[in-house]
């Protein structure tokens, strides 16, 4: 028995999926680099072992719809016909579980004898974990480029999808109730009837169908027999238009036939180049990937003209360093199609030497991984945002607690200094100014910490009423350092109503636009440039615009700035996802984002969001006179906060201090009557939430929670569900007095 040809072996090694080659006895004689890793086996556990022996150890009978003795490789060996896309589940020796799609291709001699069986395994575990299969089927039928037909067992049409209409050109009325045989080529009628008479659950065959323009289209059908509640027995026919592919195959020499069948089986895009005469052969899938139509051809015989300029040196170096005999490594880079669309691809290359020892042929296998790259990039970004949110919440909590008693104590000192008479040797004016400056500095710290709040949300999918002006101010606080070195900041923030959105994600949009505006201008020339932030109401919309006097965006680039992975920045300075994700966030909130730009003048981004109607009633309760002194219970595990509140309120009101949730519950259970209970939300052992849950419901209206920031899911959920009164740390004496007056008025 002869060895497989050199072309065949190179294809095996070039495939990224797992490939195993069996001899007629079902014994493994070869495999590529992807097979051991995919199946969790080493070379000794594969080479020389029988297919049934290998698969019986892996296939999970309790999960897989395919028993081991019906593996595609065994069926292909028995039938001498290709077996395509059979699903099976395997349990790896490591204990992991994988869902695979297996296909098998029999390789026959000229006399029709079986020489080898090539089995290809595609891992779909991850896809199945994140995809709703019912939705996928619905989308496949309605939107798939494959042809879908539902017919009676006698081939009378019940339903077709849009791909059938687009391929054959007939109107919808032409198909319904029509017999498929009316369109079948006379030479293919017998073949169609033969398959219709068979009762197998699945059949595959190719027929020619007449299009509305009189031409014949070759359709490869996969037919499954089933039933529907309304129409009884039915055939589900999935077809692929292989007209052009068959025409290409007829033009190929015999040396290319085995390659093309393997490429088709693995669904890969391939370019084969003759390095001697410069000719090149592209498969139809590569033409689709590069968006080459009948009128658009290659101006060269390599991929160089499609590779992004920044990636081209890596590609050329990769080709020069290809190992002569080892499996080729993979290279990931970006292609730009004839329609200027970016594609992330992974490719493998192999160069062959002729009899004279010179490199004579180059084979490049290309896999489109654009969608996978986009999903991975979004997942990485989401993970970073989650980490940032957790950190922001923790930092806010740790700063706000000490800041609360610092400001409270400074206000106590300020009040005492204002009442103290002048003393010899003491400049009371300067001393009061120093305290006021310290309070002002503390307030600035408080505002900075408050700016972190929108970025500290745990649930990024949560939506609610948002104060756009406050979110813009918070984003400005985050971007201020980047802006101050590059431009003068102009704020024109008119009062606007609330919008219904996710506060953290909306803040992410505004921050991204502000940073982009800053980076559009050179550093160190702040006096020459301006960034203008405006908010305004227009009808039932809230409009936020970010304008800069930077370099502007070229007209040919402007339509593509919201495309994923598109960036005008240098490699390493941007992911190309900022505006793409911002557009998705704004769209999710029911709004739109647009851009206007002129080279040398500047750029303006505008975000329009629908106003949330009926958010506020517009009425205020009538004031009720308050008693002079209030009875207050203060609960906090931070002793300094208890002492500062005692100094701040103790002279005017009756305060009871508790340094734990447990002590607070004891005081409340004793029947003591309080006008107001100020309780810290986050405390060890017995938290503020625990106090609330164990408290008599009649006493809950008197509770106001103090918080320096929530960084646990339970606390966030509690605030969202219960919506209790909340006093943000640090707080002012004025805020506390307002709370006390309202409490005494109940």
Does residue 605 register a pLDDT over 90? yes
In the predicted model, what is the mean pLDDT of residues 290-318?
77
Instruction: Identify the weakest region by mean pLDDT among 93-107, 295-309, 723-737.
Output: 295-309
Across 196-205, 600-609, 634-643, which has the greatest mean pLDDT?
600-609
Measured CA to CA, the distance from residue 170 to residue 413 in angstroms comes to: 88
Does residue 564 register a pLDDT over 70? no
Does residue 382 register a pLDDT over 70? no
Q: Evaluate whether 20 touches 12 at the Cβ level (below 8 Å).
A: no
Does residue 347 register a pLDDT over 70? yes
Does residue 212 register a pLDDT over 80? yes
> pLDDT tens-digit profile of 446-468?
666 665 555 555 445 567 788 88
The residues, any chain, with a CB within 8 Å of residue 625's CB and separated by 6 or more, are: 745
Task: Report pLDDT for 546.
Answer: 93
The CA distances from residue 363 to 269, 273, 350, in Å, are: 11, 6, 5
Measured CA to CA, the distance from residue 348 to residue 16 in angstroms comes to: 8
Measured CA to CA, the distance from residue 456 to residue 395 in angstroms comes to: 10
How far is C-alpha 24 from the chain's CA centre?
46
> pLDDT tens-digit profile of 166-185?
888 887 767 766 777 888 89
Confidence of residue 573 (pLDDT cuts 50, 70, 90): very low
Question: Quick one: angle between helices 243-251 and 254-266, nearest 10?
Answer: 150
Q: Is 135 helix (H, G, I), strand (E, B) or coil?
A: helix
Q: How many residues appear in the chain?
A: 746
Rounded percentage of the chain residues whose pLDDT exceeds 90: 7
Measured CA to CA, the distance from residue 586 to residue 607 in angstroms comes to: 8
Measured CA to CA, the distance from residue 349 to residue 10 in angstroms comes to: 10
> pLDDT tens-digit profile of 52-73?
787 777 776 555 666 766 788 8
Q: Evaluate whether 604 touches 546 at the Cβ level (below 8 Å).
A: yes
Task: Report pLDDT for 227.
Answer: 66
Confidence of residue 342 (pLDDT cuts 50, 70, 90): confident
Give Rg (Cα) of the chain.
36
Q: Evaluate whether 156 touches 178 at the Cβ level (below 8 Å).
A: yes
Taking Cα atoms as reference points, which of 736, 729, 706, 737 lies closest to residue 719?
Answer: 706
Task: Report pLDDT for 266.
Answer: 53
Domains parsed from the chain with CATH numbers: 6-130 (3.30.450.20), 133-245 (3.30.450.20), 268-368 (3.30.450.20), 459-619 (3.30.565.10), 631-745 (3.40.50.2300)
Task: Report pLDDT for 61.
Answer: 56
Computed over every residue of the chain, the mean pLDDT equals: 77
Confidence of residue 16 (pLDDT cuts 50, 70, 90): confident
Task: Report pLDDT for 606.
Answer: 94
Q: Is 725 helix (H, G, I), strand (E, B) or coil?
A: coil
Task: Report pLDDT for 250.
Answer: 66
Q: Evaluate whether 116 touches 20 at the Cβ level (below 8 Å).
A: no
Does residue 349 register a pLDDT over 50? yes
Does residue 745 register a pLDDT over 60? yes
Does residue 291 register a pLDDT over 90? no
Q: What pairing do the DSSP bridges indicate for beta strands 541-548 and 602-610? A: antiparallel
> pLDDT tens-digit profile of 518-542?
888 887 677 788 999 999 999 899 9
How far is C-alpha 718 from the chain's CA centre?
28
Does residue 137 register a pLDDT over 50? yes
H-state helical runs in 270-425: 284-290, 312-320, 370-419
Measured CA to CA, the distance from residue 462 to residue 382 in angstroms comes to: 15
Task: Report pLDDT for 537.
Answer: 92
Taking Cα atoms as reference points, which of 541, 513, 740 lies closest to residue 624?
Answer: 740
Does residue 623 register a pLDDT over 60? no
Taking Cα atoms as reference points, which of 106, 111, 97 lies closest to residue 73?
Answer: 106
Confidence of residue 265 (pLDDT cuts 50, 70, 90): low
Within a 13 Å sphere around the CA of 648, how many CA atoms are in the beta-carbon half? 24
> pLDDT tens-digit profile of 232-242?
677 788 888 88
Taking Cα atoms as reference points, which of 323, 332, 272 lies closest to residue 302?
Answer: 272
Confidence of residue 140 (pLDDT cuts 50, 70, 90): low
Measured CA to CA, the distance from residue 20 to residue 33 in angstroms comes to: 10
Measured CA to CA, the distance from residue 562 to residue 573 in angstroms comes to: 17
Q: Is 411 helix (H, G, I), strand (E, B) or coil?
A: helix
Q: Evaluate whether 569 touches 561 at the Cβ level (below 8 Å).
A: no
Does residue 639 register a pLDDT over 80? yes
């Amino acid at each position: 028995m002869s060895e497989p040809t050199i072309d065949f072996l190179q294809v095996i090694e070039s495939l990224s999926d797992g490939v195993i080659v069996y001899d007629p006895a079902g014994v493994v004689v070869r495999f590529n680099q992807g097979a051991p890793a995919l199946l969790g086996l080493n070379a000794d556990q594969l080479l020389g072992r029988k297919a049934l022996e290998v698969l019986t150890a892996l296939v999970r009978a309790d999960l897989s719809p395919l028993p081991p003795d019906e593996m595609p490789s065994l069926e292909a060996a028995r039938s001498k016909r290709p077996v395509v896309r059979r699903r099976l589940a395997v349990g790896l020796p490591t204990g992991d579980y994988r869902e695979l799609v297996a296909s098998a291709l029999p390789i026959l001699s000229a006399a029709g004898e079986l020489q080898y069986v090539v089995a290809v395994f595609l891992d779909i575990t991850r896809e199945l974990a994140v995809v709703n299969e019912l939705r996928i089927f619905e989308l496949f039928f309605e939107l798939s480029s494959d042809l879908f037909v539902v017919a009676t067992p006698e081939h009378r049409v019940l339903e077709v999808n849009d791909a059938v209409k687009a391929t054959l050109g007939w109107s919808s009325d032409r198909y319904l109730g029509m017999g498929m045989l009316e369109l079948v080529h006379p030479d293919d009628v017998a073949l169609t009837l033969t398959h219709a008479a068979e009762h197998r659950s699945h059949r595959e065959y190719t027929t020619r169908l007449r299009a509305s323009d009189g031409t014949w289209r070759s359709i490869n059908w996969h037919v499954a027999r089933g039933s529907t509640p309304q129409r009884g027995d039915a055939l589900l026919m999935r077809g692929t238009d292989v007209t052009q592919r068959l025409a290409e195959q007829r033009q190929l020499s015999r040396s290319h036939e085995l390659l093309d069948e393997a490429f088709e089986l693995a669904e890969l895009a391939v370019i084969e180049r003759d390095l001697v005469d410069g000719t090149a052969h592209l498969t139809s899938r590569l033409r689709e990937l590069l968006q080459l139509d009948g009128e658009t051809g290659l101006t060269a015989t390599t991929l160089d003209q499609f590779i992004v300029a920044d990636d081209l040196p890596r590609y050329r170096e990769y080709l020069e360093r290809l190992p002569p005999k080892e499996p080729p490594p993979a290279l990931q880079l970006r292609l730009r199609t004839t329609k200027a669309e970016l594609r992330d691809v992974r490719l493998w290359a192999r160069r062959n030497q002729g009899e004279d020892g010179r490199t004579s042929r180059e084979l490049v296998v290309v896999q489109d991984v654009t969608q996978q790259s986009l999903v991975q990039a979004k997942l990485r970004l989401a993970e970073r945002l989650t980490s940032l949110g957790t950190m922001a919440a923790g930092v806010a909590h740790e700063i706000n607690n000490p800041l609360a008693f610092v400001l409270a104590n400074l206000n106590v000192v300020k009040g005492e200094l204002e009442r103290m008479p002048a003393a010899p040797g003491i400049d009371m004016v300067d001393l009061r100014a120093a305290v006021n400056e310290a309070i002002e500095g503390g307030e600035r710290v408080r505002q900075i910490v408050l700016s972190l709040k929108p970025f500290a949300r745990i649930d990024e999918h949560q939506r609610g009423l948002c104060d756009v002006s406050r979110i813009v101010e918070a984003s400005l606080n985050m971007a201020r350092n980047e802006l101050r070195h590059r431009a003068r900041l102009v704020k024109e923030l008119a009062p606007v109503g609330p919008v219904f959105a996710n506060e953290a994600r909306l803040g992410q949009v505004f921050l991204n636009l502000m940073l982009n505006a800053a980076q559009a201008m050179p550093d160190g020339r702040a006096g020459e440039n301006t960034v203008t932030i405006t908010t305004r109401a227009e009808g039932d919309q809230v409009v936020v615009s970010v304008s800069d006097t930077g370099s502007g965006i070229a007209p040919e680039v402007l339509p593509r700035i919201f495309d994923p992975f598109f960036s005008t920045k240098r490699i390493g300075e941007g992911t190309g996802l900022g505006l793409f994700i911002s557009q998705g966030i704004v769209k999710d909130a029911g709004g739109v984002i647009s851009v206007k730009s002129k080279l040398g003048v500047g750029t303006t981004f505008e975000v329009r969001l629908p106003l949330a109607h009926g958010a506020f009633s517009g009425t205020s309760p009538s004031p009720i006179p308050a008693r002079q002194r209030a009875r207050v219970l203060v609960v906090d595990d931070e002793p300094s906060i208890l002492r500062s509140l005692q100094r701040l309120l103790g002279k005017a009101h009756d305060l009871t201090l508790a340094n734990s949730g447990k002590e607070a519950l004891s005081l409340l259970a004793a029947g003591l009557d309080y006008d107001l209970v100020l309780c810290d939300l986050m405390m060890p052992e017995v938290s503020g939430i625990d106090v609330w849950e164990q408290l008599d419901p009649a006493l809950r209206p008197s509770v106001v929670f103090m918080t320096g920031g929530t960084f646990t899911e339970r606390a966030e959920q509690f605030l969202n569900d219960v919506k209790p009164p909340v006093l943000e740390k640090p707080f002012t004496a004025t805020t506390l007095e307002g709370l006390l007056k309202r409490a005494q008025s109940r």
